[in-house]
Amino acid sequence: MRRFRYLLYLARKSAWNRRATLILIVFSIALSTTLLLGIEKLRTQIRESFVQSVSGTDLVIGARGGNIQLMLYAIFHLGGATHNMGWESALEIAKKNEIAWTIPISLGDSHRGYPVVATTDAFFNHYRFRGGKQIELATGKWFESLFDVVVGAEAAKKLMLSVNQKIVLSHGNITSNLTNHDDKPFTVIGVLAPTGTPVDRSFYISLHAMEAIHVNWQGGAPIPGLHVSPEQVMRFNLEPKSITALLVGLKKRSQVFAVQREINDWKSEPLMGVLPGVAMDQIWDMVNTGELALWLISALVTITGLAGLAATILAGLGERRRELAILRSAGARPLDILGLMIAEGSILITAGIVSGLFALYLLIAFLGPLIGHHYGIFIYPSLPSIREYLLLLCICLAGLAAGLIPAYRAYRMSLSDGLTVSL
């Protein structure tokens, strides 16, 4: 044990004396670790974020089009809907015997880059996430009056909004060239508790409110010269004419395929019903090629870093022949030299992995909120999973294997190799 500790001491001192070169090796291993574990964590947490965003919803119904597009827009508020479905169809579907509840969703407006979701009390009562958890209010209450708005936790925090504060919504969901609904301001009536889903970055109003702010609009623009005040708008019929999507919960999940077929054959307009789980699988199938490409890139970077470790140590043997020969003459055995070289490689690998983990969690801490804000996908620091621990073990073993090459070369050197003076 004393000899082992002494070898570690020598390895540490030797590495420190060559720190300028070895820092580059540590950086290379750190980059490999960050890429390899970052891709794995990004892959798993994106899937987890998508799955956790909707729980208990059996069907997502909307105008006929792409399954993935409807799912992304209705649940994650990404992209845009090409067509809406009629409100009359939504009411008819809700009356069906197989249906337990429905949540109408209408999208298209925003506030400072955050989506505005028009819905009903059914959203607060029936929407579930992360294995059945219900939406809860952190402060205030759910909207009651026409121009009340409830804000998601992240949107409220980023925009520093609080209850009773006035805001103005904008037409459209882009961040430039927006037309504001200045004539009909809303009052923040409640702030939702954090969920870790796209709910956190959304504003919620009633379907009637969505109709109210577009009473004097036509073709996506306000009608010139027509002004309708908030008081006057109450006299209008604010029943919605169309919605973006309808989230459906069934009384018996075994009836889901029968209801889906009926929706797909809907007579009054072309509709489609999407099973969230099936749509998720289609999304993963689309990104599998990208995942594989990222894996190959990170694996190549890892191999390059470990090859650099072996090459640098091997190239340095020529400069260290005198040092190793002096150790041999002082009583070090060939096995001690072998152990010294392996210890140096282990120190470098350990330093690289620790640095890579630190860099990874630092990136997640800084970039995670930005990704969540812009894409509704929440990446957060978490303890490594079993798969990630296995990846770390593979990096360690591969690093030790790479370090064995120069270690064996040093082991085979004779005492005279470093004491012979070349003329």
Closest CA to 316 of 9, 17, 32, 10: 17
Q: State the Cα–Cα distance between residues 361 and 101, nearest whole angstrom.
A: 41
Which SS3 state, helix, strand or coil, does residue 188 take? strand
Closest CA to 400 of 347, 324, 364: 347
Closest CA to 70 of 152, 57, 134: 57
Mean pLDDT of the 82-102 span: 92
The pLDDT value given to residue 106: 93
Where is pLDDT greater, at 134 or 306?
134
Closest CA to 163 of 192, 199, 190: 190
Q: What are phi and psi of 184, to 5 degrees?
A: -135, 80
Give Cα 108 distance to the centre of its chain.
23
Closest CA to 199 of 369, 53, 56: 53
Mean pLDDT of the 358-370 span: 85
Mean pLDDT of the chain: 80
Where is pLDDT greater, at 336 or 300?
300
User: Mean pLDDT: which of 41-45, 62-66, 234-238 is highest?
Assistant: 62-66
Residue 164 tokens, joined: 């009773």
Is the pLDDT at 115 greater than 80? The verdict is yes
Q: State the Cα–Cα distance between residues 271 and 301, nearest whole angstrom.
A: 47
Q: What percent of the chain has pLDDT over 90?
A: 29
For residue 297, the one-letter residue type is I
The pLDDT value given to residue 316: 63
User: Mean pLDDT: which of 76-80, 329-333, 358-362 is highest?
Assistant: 358-362
Lowest mean pLDDT among 194-198, 316-320, 357-361, 365-369: 316-320
The pLDDT value given to residue 272: 94
The pLDDT value given to residue 133: 85
Is the pLDDT at 88 greater than 70? The verdict is yes
Q: State the Cα–Cα distance between residues 243 and 136, nearest whole angstrom.
A: 24
User: Mean pLDDT: which of 229-233, 275-279, 339-343, 412-416 is highest?
Assistant: 275-279
What pLDDT band is residue 423 in, cutting at 50, 70 and 90? very low
Q: State the Cα–Cα distance between residues 220 and 410, nearest whole angstrom.
A: 76
User: Mean pLDDT: which of 34-38, 101-105, 265-269, 391-395 is highest?
Assistant: 101-105
Q: State the Cα–Cα distance between residues 233 and 220, nearest whole angstrom.
A: 18
Residue 365 tokens, joined: 């801490």
What pLDDT band is residue 393 in, cutting at 50, 70 and 90? confident
Where is pLDDT greater, at 3 or 191?
191
Q: What percent of the chain has pLDDT over 70?
A: 78
What pLDDT band is residue 11 in, cutting at 50, 70 and 90? low
The pLDDT value given to residue 3: 62
Which SS3 state, helix, strand or coil, does residue 31 take? helix
Which residues lie across from 247 on neighbouring strands? 60, 103
Mean pLDDT of the 250-260 span: 92
Q: State the Cα–Cα distance between residues 118 and 70, nearest whole angstrom.
A: 16
Is the pLDDT at 206 greater than 90? The verdict is yes
Encode burial over 209-240: b for 16+ CB neighbours within 10 A, e otherwise: bbbbbbbbeeeeebeeeeebeeeebeeeebeb
User: Mean pLDDT: which of 15-19, 32-36, 118-122, 280-284 is highest?
Assistant: 118-122
> Kind of pairing, strands 170-171 and 179-180?
antiparallel
> Kind of pairing, strands 133-134 and 137-140?
unpaired
Where is pLDDT greater, at 415 or 269?
269
- Residue appearing with tokens 């980023």: 158
Mean pLDDT of the 230-244 span: 85
For residue 47, the one-letter residue type is R
For residue 208, the one-letter residue type is H
Where is pLDDT greater, at 401 or 12?
401
The pLDDT value given to residue 253: 87
The pLDDT value given to residue 96: 92
The pLDDT value given to residue 174: 60
Q: State the Cα–Cα distance between residues 394 and 299, nearest whole angstrom.
A: 11
Per the confidence metrics, is the pTM higher than 0.75?
no
The dihedral through the CA atoms of 5, 6, 8, 13 has a sign that is positive
User: pLDDT tens-digit profile of 30-58?
Assistant: 888 888 888 888 877 777 777 677 778 89
Q: State the Cα–Cα distance between residues 164 and 8, nearest whole angstrom.
A: 64
Mean pLDDT of the 237-244 span: 90
Is the pLDDT at 421 greater than 50? The verdict is no
Residue 44 tokens, joined: 């798993």
Closest CA to 396 of 41, 32, 42: 32
Q: State the Cα–Cα distance between residues 365 and 89, nearest whole angstrom.
A: 45
- The domain locations on the chain are 2-50+283-419, 59-274
Where is pLDDT greater, at 391 or 353?
353
Mean pLDDT of the 260-282 span: 89
